[in-house]
Amino acid sequence: MSKRVALSGNEAAAHAIRQINPDVIAAFPITPSTPIPMAVSQFIADGKMTTEFVTVESEHSAISACVGASAAGGRVMTATSANGLALMFEILYIASGMRRPIVAPVVARALSGPLNIHGDFSDVYGVRESGWVELFCQDSQEFYDTIIQSVKLAENESVLTPVMPIADGFDISHTVENWYMEDDEAVQKFIGEYHSKYSLLDTEHPVTFGAWAPPDWYYEHRRSQLEGLLNACDAFKAVDKEFGEKFGRSYGVIEKYHSDDADIVVIGMGAVSGTIKDAVDEMRANGISAGFLRVKLFRPFPYKDIIEALKGAKAIGVFDRCITAGAQTAALCTDIRSAMYGKSNIPIVNYTYGLGGRDTTVSHVKTVIEQLKEAAEGKKIDLINYINLRA
C-alpha cells in the first residue's frame, strides 16, 4: 500500500534511492541536491539501505567512480546540481559512450557566474548533447516516480543509456508537498534485478572497457550509441505505462493540458508547469482558448508526439529557464521551432524565465498568453521575451 507523505523533493528523491537500494552510490554534496547524499548516509547508518556509498572528493570523481562501478556489473546512482554537473561534463559523455545505465537525479540550478544557487536549467541544458536521457519533473511526486522509472529505463537492453531525472532547485527540491510513497517491496519488484552482460569483475571472461576509437571506428560507435538513446522514447512510454498500471500514475513523454483544442499553446518543462496550468485555467475561464504542453522527455526529443500535439495551435510561446547564450532562441524553443519547421507558419516565440530562482507568477503567464493571442491575430511580437526582468 502506498502512503501519503509530506516531504520535500529532495526527500522524495532520497526515498526513491533508498527503495532502489543500488549496489553503489558515489556522490559529492552541492546545493541544492546536498540533502540527497545526506539522507543516503543516514539511511545506511540506520540500516535502511545497504548500498556501498563512495564519499568521493569531487563530482568529477563521483561520476568517474560511477562509471567504474557500473562497469563492475551492478546498479549505480549519483546525484548532483549545477557546477557539480558541469564538473562531470567530460565523464557524462564517457558514461553514455560506454553505455553505462547510471541513474543520476539532477536538482537543476543556475551556473556561475555570478554564483547563484537557485533553480535554473543552465546546468541540464548545458549537458543536453551528452547522450544522457533527460526527464524533467514538475513536482516531488513526479521526481520520486521518475527516479524509479529511470532505473528500469536505463537498464532496458535496447537503451542501456544513463538517465537524468531532473527537478528544479528549491522550487521542487526544498518545497514540501504531499505525495505518495510506494512500498519498498513494490518498488523493488517493479525495477527487478539488474543483470549486466559484461562485468569487470568477471575474471573468467575479461572484457576491455573504454578502448579508444580512431577515425575509422568513432563514427560507427557514435551512431550505435545514438540508437540506444533514441530507443529511450518508446522504452520510456512502455515503462511509464507499466508504472501506471502498477501504481496508478503515469506521465507520458509529453503532457497535454487543454492543449488539444487550444489556439494559444504555452510550452514548458519542470516546476513552472503548475503556474502555467493555473494561468491556463484562469484564461480559459475568461474565454481565451489557451493550453499548455509540458515536455517531460527532453532528450531524446519526442518531436513526433509534439508535432501531433501542436496541430491546432495558432501561436506558441516556449518557456526556457535558461538564457539563449547567443543562439537564435534557447534550447527548448529551438527544438520546438525545428520540429514545427514546414508544418505551419504560426508565431513560435521564446520566453526566458526564472533565471537564478527569479519568480514567475500566474499573472506573468497570463500576460504571455495575452501577448500570444495578439500575435495569433497578427500583431508583431519579439522572438525572445524576458519574463520578470528589470529593464
Partner 1 sequence: MAKKLSFLNKLALNKELLEGGHRLCPGCGHSIIVRMVLNTAMQEGYQPVMANSTGCLEVCTGLYPYSSWNIPWIHNAFENVAATLSGAESMYKSLSRRGKLNNDKIVFIAFGSDGGTYDIGLQALSGAAERGHRFLYVCDDNEAYQNTGNQRSSATPYGTRTTTSAVGTADPIGKKQKRKDIMEIMAAHEIYTAQASPSYWMDLIKKVKKGLKQNGPAYLNVIQPCTTGWGYDPKDTINLAKLAVDTCIWPLYEIENRRSKVNYKPKNKLPVEEYLKKQKRYAHLFTPKGKEALEKIQQLTDEHWNFLLEREQAGF
Partner 2 sequence: MNNKKNFITPGCDKDGNLLGWRSVEIGAMVIDAGNSRMYETGSWRSEQPVWNADTCIDCMMCWLGCPDTAIIAKDGHMAGIDYFKCKGCEICVEQCPTKPNSLVMILEEKAKDLSLEEKTELAFSKEQK
The nearest distance, CB 65 to partner 1, in angstroms, is 3
Give 227 or 359: the residue with its C-beta nearer to partner 2.
227
185 touching partner 2, by CB under 8 A: no
Q: Quick one: which of 99, 296, 299, 364 contacts partner 2 (CB under 8 A)?
A: 99
Distance of alpha carbon 120 from alpha carbon 335, whole angstroms: 18
- Asked if residue 111 lies in contact with residue 122, where contact means CB atoms within 8 angstroms, the answer is yes
The nearest distance, CB 99 to partner 2, in angstroms, is 4
Distance of alpha carbon 133 from alpha carbon 236, whole angstroms: 10
Residue 50 binding result from partner 1, partner 2, none, given CB thresholds of 5 to 8 Å by partner type? partner 1
The nearest distance, CB 226 to partner 2, in angstroms, is 9
The nearest distance, CB 210 to partner 2, in angstroms, is 8
Distance of alpha carbon 80 from alpha carbon 341, whole angstroms: 35
Residue 126 cell numbers, joined = 548545458
Q: Quick one: which of 6, 45, 221, 338 contacts partner 2 (CB under 8 A)?
A: 221
- Asked if residue 264 lies in contact with residue 288, where contact means CB atoms within 8 angstroms, the answer is yes
Distance of alpha carbon 28 from alpha carbon 84, whole angstroms: 8
Q: Quick one: which of 206, 215, 287, 378 contacts partner 2 (CB under 8 A)?
A: 206
- Piece of the chain touching partner 2 by CB under 8 A; list 28-36, 212-220, 266-274, 379-387: 212-220
Q: Quick one: which of 5, 72, 307, 362 contacts partner 1 (CB under 8 A)?
A: 72
Distance of alpha carbon 174 from alpha carbon 7, whole angstroms: 9
Q: N- to C-terminal Cα distance for the chain?
A: 52
- The three-state secondary structure class of 75 is coil
The residue behind cell 496550468 is: 277
Residue 29 binding result from partner 1, partner 2, none, given CB thresholds of 5 to 8 Å by partner type? none
What is the x/- site pattern for partner 1, positions 192-231, by CB under 8 A? -------xxxxx--xxxxxxxxx--x---x----------
Applying CB under 8 A, what is the total number of residues that bind partner 1? 45
| Strand ranges (E), 277-358 | 290-295, 297-299, 315-320, 348-352
- Piece of the chain touching partner 1 by CB under 8 A; list 55-63, 162-170, 172-180, 235-243: 55-63
- Give burial (CB, 10 Å; 0-12/13-18/19+) of 301: buried
225 touching partner 2, by CB under 8 A: yes
The residue behind cell 562531470 is: 88
Q: What are phi and psi of 297, to 5 degrees?
A: -90, 110
The nearest distance, CB 193 to partner 1, in angstroms, is 9
Q: Which residues bind partner 2 (CB under 8 A)?
A: 97-100, 160, 198, 206-213, 216-217, 219-221, 223-225, 227-228
